[in-house]
Amino acid sequence: MYAGKLVFAQVMEFAPWHTFRRLVGKYRGDFNVRTFSCLDQFLSMAFAQITFRESLRDIEACFEAHAAKAYHLGLRGNFTRSNLADANERCDWRLYCEFAQALIRIARKLYATEPLGLELDHTVYALDSTTIDLCLTLFPWAPFRSTKAAIKLHTLLDLRGQIPSFIHISDGKWHDVNVLDILIPEAGAFYVMDRGYLDFKRLYALHQSGGYFVTRAKRNSNIRRIASRPVERSTGLVCDQTVMLNTFYAAKDYPGQLRRVRYRDPTTHKSLVFLTNHFGIPALSVCALYKSRWSVELFFKRIKQHLRIKRFFGTSENAVKSQVWIAVSTYVLVAIARKRLNVDLSLHTMLQVLRVTPFEKIPLFQLFSDTDEDPNMPHDDNQLNLL
């Protein structure tokens, strides 16, 4: 009989706790705290994320039912829902933001050799945002509509391993394109985004930084053709052109040349026009790059299904941002465990298994080795049929 640690405690062992303690000291998270530390808050919230608890009362009831095992989960403080609520209000959300970034750096190194599914050596990022609706009465600090509040999660997803490399939380009114102003471009990397980010002045700044972008053109774009390259129409390609912007202000914002690729889906007969500043890759690769953008939509779907980010345990800005960043940390921790244990399961399946086994005493590798994915169950990859 295995007499080791609980499953939840084994997952938490993959976290760099020395970094967490340093950040607690940096933000004075445990200053004048006696009964419930930042570590207790993080573990409680991570447990709520993995097991998909509904409320503070739900978390408290779950811990009371397993009171003898709370110590073995790593909790040292006196857990009550009021202590957790106070910690969510008190502890600076930037602590968990920086801790999540530290976990992301670890995960990206582990997934750096993951296959991309494209014949490219470049790093490929998918940029998009998702909106989480809130009640305006309870969350007045997050305006969105006249009768509704919301927050946006602006996410830059590294397509190698589906790891978010950048996340920014804003109110619902903040336009998606503004995230390009705070994004630090990586030279030689591809940034795939939809038409909501089509701002030629910002895209030119990305171009000058050495980054490449792939996006869709708007229907009313005024573009002048400079040259054309031959294409194989049997593949669905219609044209591959070198173009320049024709209107005065657009040409002033982006004075360089662009590449326009038109593709017609043989099945749906839908015509799509892509714009990019990279002229070296094949035209079909441009289409495949934009198709890979759907991965960020699947990422949003996974975290909304398996983590608690649509309903919140507090109403203040600090409580909401703390919960979101702890949810991101939990997701990345599971991704780190998957790679270090060399588990063949998807993150979707691992999160489902962890949801029902946090108090089990079984080695993690054995737990996931005994779990088989149902080949008949529909998989998220089927949704990649975008074009």
pLDDT of 380 > 60? The answer is: no
State the number of CA atoms in the 13 A half-sphere of 293 facing the CB.
22
Cα–Cα dist 277/261, whole Å: 11
Going by the DSSP 8-state scheme, the letter that residue 36 receives in this structure is -
Give bridge partners of residue 163 from the DSSP assignment: 158
The greatest distance separating any two alpha carbons of the chain, rounded to the nearest whole angstrom, comes to 75
Cα–Cα dist 149/134, whole Å: 5
Contacting residues for 67 by C-beta, under 8 A, at least 6 apart: none
Percent of the chain with pLDDT strictly greater than 70: 95
Predicted pLDDT of residue 80? 87
pLDDT tens digits, 323-338: 999 999 999 999 999 9
Predicted pLDDT of residue 372? 65
pLDDT of 348 > 90? The answer is: no
Cα–Cα dist 252/254, whole Å: 6
Segment among 74-88, 162-176, 286-300, 363-377 with least mean pLDDT: 363-377
> Would the CA dihedral through 59, 63, 64, 65 be positive or negative?
positive
DSSP per-residue string spanning 289-357: HHHTTHHHHHHHHHHHHHSS-SS-S--SHHHHHHHHHHHHHHHHHHHHHHHHTT--S-HHHHHHHHHH-
Predicted pLDDT of residue 384? 43
**382 band by pLDDT with thresholds 50, 70 and 90:** very low
For residue 84, give the H/E element and its range: helix 81-90
Cα–Cα dist 202/191, whole Å: 13
Please indicate whether residue 374 or residue 171 has the higher confidence score (pLDDT): 171
What's the pTM? 0.88
- Indicate the pairing of strand 124-134 with strand 190-192: parallel
Please indicate whether residue 26 or residue 117 has the higher confidence score (pLDDT): 26
